[in-house]
Amino acid sequence: MKKFLLAIAVLMALACAGFFDGHKAQAASFAPYGCPPELASLAFPEPRACIDLQSWWQPVFDPATFATNSMHVHDDPPFPYGEQLILPAAGQGYSWPFLGQWHNQVGGSLRSCRGGGFQFPSTIPSDPSCAGKKITEQDMRLAGAIPIPASVVNSWRSFTGQRENRFTNDTSSADGGKRQYESCACNAFLNAPGKPVKFTVRGWYQPVAGSGEYVNLTVNTPFRASTLSTIGLPNTISYSLAQGATMASAYIDADLHHGSKGLVLFEFRTGSSGTFTLPTLTPGLHRLLIGGIERVGAGASGGFANIPFNVQ
């Protein structure tokens, strides 16, 4: 018993000294759902899920290969979609783990891995290890964490209710160093109970200096992290397009980097909005890859999200 009490005292002293970041200092009991191996062993005090946020660009649009052979920028943060974020103790900082991935981008470089500030600060926090990093592999992966200063975390205590967060792997692409990144409207709740929320994914590409723009798709059927891992997504899902997107595509269990689209629900469906029903699937983990597409000159830009969900 004495050894147990001594161990507890040591852990408490380390926490007070700041050796643990905000979420590790909490009673972490939830494994993030649907996360890649680099993030799967983490634990958090609230339910989280890994929705893979993606930006696509293909300089010469080819419908047959757009999904499997465009330049992709990914960001995969474990995020409490629709959940209440459990704040750390006063005076502590925070960090947002993430996994970045870059496909068909050899020769490009990273500008910054940013986000996690709940749109409060005038400057967006970033992981300093990303800046200037060269992309040297066909499918480069980079696990990191965005540090959030205690002063920013303290500002979160002044807000009650739903708050939007964004995450961006800002990239100088392999296509002549043109800027490309992904983003999202990732919503959680501060100092208030959670509930299902809508979700928006954004792709951004700059084919000509000064002309870059977003390609947005919003999943209008609300969901939350805790139900993604239990009852899954609603059976019928509606979406809408914005910021120049004119087409939508959706796939189940795609493995694009290895050339597989999985089960194609629809591709290049035109119109500003739509609805679809999920097919009957085997029990367990599945993924819905869905996004919007915009034609830009000879090329095409896309904003996509790969959403994990459980089938009972």
Instruction: Assess if residue 6 is contained within a domain.
Output: no
Given this model, what pLDDT does residue 18 score? 31
Q: Which helix (H) or strand (E) holds 152?
A: helix 150-156
pLDDT digits (tens, 9 = 90+) for 175-206: 889 999 999 999 999 999 999 999 999 999 98
List the domain range (segments joined by +) for residue 240. Answer: 24-311
Q: Is residue 299 a contact partner of residue 59, using CB atoms and an 8 Å limit?
A: yes
Backbone angles phi, psi at 228, to 5 degrees: -55, -40
Given this model, what pLDDT does residue 209 score? 63
Encoded amino acid at 140, one letter? M
Q: How many domains does the chain contain in total? A: 1
The Cα–Cα gap between 55 and 19 comes to 35
Global confidence as pTM: 0.89
Confidence of residue 17 (pLDDT cuts 50, 70, 90): very low
Given this model, what pLDDT does residue 23 score? 41
Instruction: Assess if residue 11 is contained within a domain.
Output: no
Instruction: Assess if residue 256 is contained within a domain.
Output: yes
Q: What is the mean pLDDT of residues 3-19?
A: 31
Of 85, 206, 198, 200, whose CA–CA distance to 148 is shortest? Answer: 85
Q: Say which residue, 120 or 291, is predicted with more confidence.
A: 291
The Cα–Cα gap between 86 and 44 comes to 9
Residue 297 has pLDDT above 80, yes or no: yes
For 141-163, letters b (16+ CB in 10 Å) and e give ebebbbbbeeebbeebeeeeeeb
Q: Which of 40-44, 100-104, 143-147, 209-213 has the lowest mean pLDDT?
A: 209-213
The Cα–Cα gap between 306 and 64 comes to 20
Q: What is the mean pLDDT of residues 83-92?
A: 95
Given this model, what pLDDT does residue 27 score? 60
Q: Is residue 149 a contact partner of residue 123, using CB atoms and an 8 Å limit?
A: no
Q: What is the mean pLDDT of residues 226-235?
A: 97
Alpha helices, DSSP H, located in 178-300:
225-228
The number of C-alpha atoms within 13 Å of 92 and in the hemisphere containing its C-beta is: 20
Of 286, 275, 306, 249, whose CA–CA distance to 65 is shortest? Answer: 249
Of 123, 85, 116, whose CA–CA distance to 98 is shortest? Answer: 116
Instruction: Assess if residue 36 is contained within a domain.
Output: yes
Q: Is residue 262 a contact partner of residue 280, using CB atoms and an 8 Å limit?
A: no
Given this model, what pLDDT does residue 121 score? 76
CA–CA distance from 94 to each of 78, 87, 135, 163 (Å)? 14, 9, 28, 17
Given this model, what pLDDT does residue 6 score? 33
SS3 state at 16: helix
Instruction: Assess if residue 3 is contained within a domain.
Output: no
Residue 98 has pLDDT above 70, yes or no: yes
Given this model, what pLDDT does residue 213 score? 86
Q: What is the mean pLDDT of residues 233-238?
A: 98
Q: How does DSSP classify residue 159?
A: -
Residue 60 has pLDDT above 70, yes or no: yes
Instruction: Assess if residue 5 is contained within a domain.
Output: no
Residue 169 has pLDDT above 80, yes or no: yes
Instruction: Assess if residue 7 is contained within a domain.
Output: no
The number of C-alpha atoms within 13 Å of 292 and in the hemisphere containing its C-beta is: 27
To the nearest whole number, what is the mean pLDDT of the chain? 90
Alpha helices, DSSP H, located in 22-140:
37-40
Q: State the residue for tokens 């120049």.
A: 244
CA–CA distance from 263 to each of 33, 75, 165, 268, 270 (Å)? 22, 23, 31, 15, 19
Instruction: Assess if residue 10 is contained within a domain.
Output: no
Given this model, what pLDDT does residue 28 score? 60
Q: State the residue for tokens 């290895």.
A: 258
Residue 243 has pLDDT above 60, yes or no: yes
- Residue length of the chain: 312
Confidence of residue 111 (pLDDT cuts 50, 70, 90): very high
Given this model, what pLDDT does residue 55 score? 98
Given this model, what pLDDT does residue 141 score? 97
